[in-house]
Structure 1
Amino acid sequence: MSIFSNLGNKKLVIGLIHLKPLPGTPFYEEGGFDKSLEKALKDAKALYKGGADGCLIQTVDRVYPAGDDADYARVAAMSVITHEVKKSVSPEFIIGTQIMWNCITPSLAVAKVCGASFTRCTSLIGTTASAFGLVNANPLKVQQYRRQIGAQDVALISEIDGYHFQWLGGELPLLQKVQMAKMAGADAVEVMHSDEEINNRMVHDIKKAFPNMPVVLGGKTNIENVSRRMKEADVALVGSCFENKDWGGFVDETIVREYVSIVRAMEK
């Protein structure tokens, strides 16, 4: 069963942990791995003590492969970091891992071996443009590998309209993309729009048509707007808000605590 199943009134707050460039990537600098590990542990502690439900550990390597495969050293580094974060928090703290840009099977491998609960898929369905080339989905490969390593318990969040994914080749109706993601084995779908009204309408439409499909907000929430943006959504991925508007910086426990208190009040 997915961690996103049967949430009821519960709303999950998941903070992003942005790493430094990892070994095996062009912009890696000597000592960078230790800095990434130190940051991940510090951020995880701030999120945990601030009351967040979990974290998503995400690579920030500046340039990325457009395909699914990832350098061995990169995967090894991500595994060590995820393992150490897992050891540093309570078992109830949810951990996700994402090797960008769309390295889904390596992310699944890290999650399965390290005991993480989910990964986020830039393109589980369709094709999207990126600065690194066209990113093409391969759900057959993902699901075959997921079964091969017994990772059905690792949930998949499928971006369908958001930060990293915009359908290429003519826009499809939102609900059609939800249906495609569901067919491809997604456990939750992610949306994000900078326009709050549009964002809220997207969430509403999905929940009306697919009441059992968890909806993840991919960004743009903050202390001022979370009570409105999270009204019908199930999960929020939170980055720069928790980093005090310094994307890629350290997580601020005080901000996490204030944000979480607002969300907890919405669950009553």
Structure 2
Amino acid sequence: MTTVSEFNEIFATSKPIIGMIHLKPLPGSPVYDGKGLKKVIDQALEEAGKLIDGGVDGVQVENYNDPSYFPDVAPAETVSSLSIVAHEVHKAYPNVPMGICLLADPIASIAVAHTSGARFVRATVFTEAAVDVSGLALRRPHEILRYRKFLDPSIKIFADVHIKHSAPLAMRPIEESAYDAAYFMADAVIISGKHTGFETPLEDLKKVRGVLPDYPIMVGSGMNKVNAQKILEVASGAFVGSTFKIDGNSYKSVDCERVKEFMKVIGEIRNR
């Protein structure tokens, strides 16, 4: 299993914070405007710049605004579009660790990561079948791991457990599900609240930490300046999206001042 120290090496810091780049709708999305990728790329670069100037330790490129997502195999137009946009982000900021979350297809995410220069993927479904808002998601870790070995073994897999906006097909204790994800070679597990922006239950984090004492456990939603201290006493790092946006609204643009204020708090936590 990956250790916390090995995880920290990816971001050159402890308790890394990964800022979310929520892309404009991509070709094929029901809300895509049909005008090509220029606006998508421009917005992605602008959001990346604000996050990086604000001090985040990494960024993740995600097709967040493509409702609804394919529960298993993402279509060609989404894969190709996300590859192009992510490549532009990496080209502009080559020294910043970048991740890919192509909802909800971790194999396609690995392909995009390899072609764009990303270092990790977020696998929203990894070890268990889930009843997702988009349908039944049936990911199989053996397929994901074999594809990674075939294409690019250096790419890290950060795997959600009981992913938000869904439920396991067979409900199990969250710590058992997390242990299995780690056992099946995920490089970190992600624990979230029920929906985007909802606070991650501290009790869930503690349960998972109890069975994975020296393993990377990330928070996937709901971290803010107020709860960061108590969460990072247990968690190894976090994905942060809504908190960085204007008015804390996940659909609005990144507010660089909110990023700076949050990262100042994180710096104080790291130095205690």
Q: What TM-score comes out, normalization by structure 1 length?
A: 0.90
Shift of 1:207: 2.4
Q: In structure 2, what is the equivalent of residue 136 of structure 1?
A: 138
Identity of aligned residues (%): 27
> Does residue 229 of structure 2 align to residue 227 of structure 1?
yes
> Does residue 69 of structure 2 align to residue 64 of structure 1?
yes
1:119 partner SS? strand
Q: In structure 1, what is the equivalent of residue 201 of structure 2?
A: 199
Shift of 1:110: 0.8
- Asked whether the equivalents of residues 20 and 33 of structure 1 are also in contact (C-alpha less than 8 Å), the reply is no
Q: In structure 2, what is the equivalent of residue 218 of structure 1?
A: 220
Identify which of structures 1 and 2 has the higher relative contact order when contacts are C-alpha pairs closer than 8 Å and 6+ apart. Answer: 1
2:201 partner SS? helix
- Asked whether the equivalents of residues 60 and 100 of structure 2 are also in contact (C-alpha less than 8 Å), the reply is yes
Which residue type is aligned with residue 120 of structure 1?
Answer: R
1:161 partner SS? coil
Which residue type is aligned with residue 108 of structure 2?
Answer: P
Shift of 1:165: 4.4
Q: In structure 1, what is the equivalent of residue 18 of structure 2?
A: 14
Shift of 1:115: 1.2
* CA distance in 1: counterparts of 2:114 and 2:140, whole angstroms: 19
Q: In structure 2, what is the equivalent of residue 246 of structure 1?
A: 249
Q: Give unpaired runs (5+ residues) of structure 1.
A: none
* CA distance in 2: counterparts of 1:260 and 1:76, whole angstroms: 33
* CA distance in 2: counterparts of 1:186 and 1:77, whole angstroms: 26
Q: What TM-score comes out, normalization by structure 2 length?
A: 0.89
Q: Give unpaired runs (5+ residues) of structure 2.
A: none
2:178 partner SS? helix
- Asked whether the equivalents of residues 122 and 165 of structure 1 are also in contact (C-alpha less than 8 Å), the reply is no
From the superposition, tell whether residues 2 and 153 of structure 1 become closer, same or farther in structure 2 (CA, over 3 Å): farther
- Asked whether the equivalents of residues 66 and 133 of structure 1 are also in contact (C-alpha less than 8 Å), the reply is yes
* CA distance in 2: counterparts of 1:72 and 1:216, whole angstroms: 30
> Does residue 155 of structure 2 align to residue 154 of structure 1?
yes
- Asked whether the equivalents of residues 191 and 219 of structure 2 are also in contact (C-alpha less than 8 Å), the reply is yes
* CA distance in 1: counterparts of 2:31 and 2:161, whole angstroms: 29
Which residue type is aligned with residue 178 of structure 1?
Answer: A
- Asked whether the equivalents of residues 24 and 72 of structure 1 are also in contact (C-alpha less than 8 Å), the reply is no
From 53, 59, 73, the equivalent of 2:57 is 53
Deviations 1:175-198 (A, max 9, x none): 2112210122211111123686x8
Q: In structure 2, what is the equivalent of residue 87 of structure 1?
A: 91
Q: In structure 2, what is the equivalent of residue 181 of structure 1?
A: 181
* CA distance in 2: counterparts of 1:144 and 1:90, whole angstroms: 27
* CA distance in 1: counterparts of 2:67 and 2:49, whole angstroms: 25
RMSD: 2.2
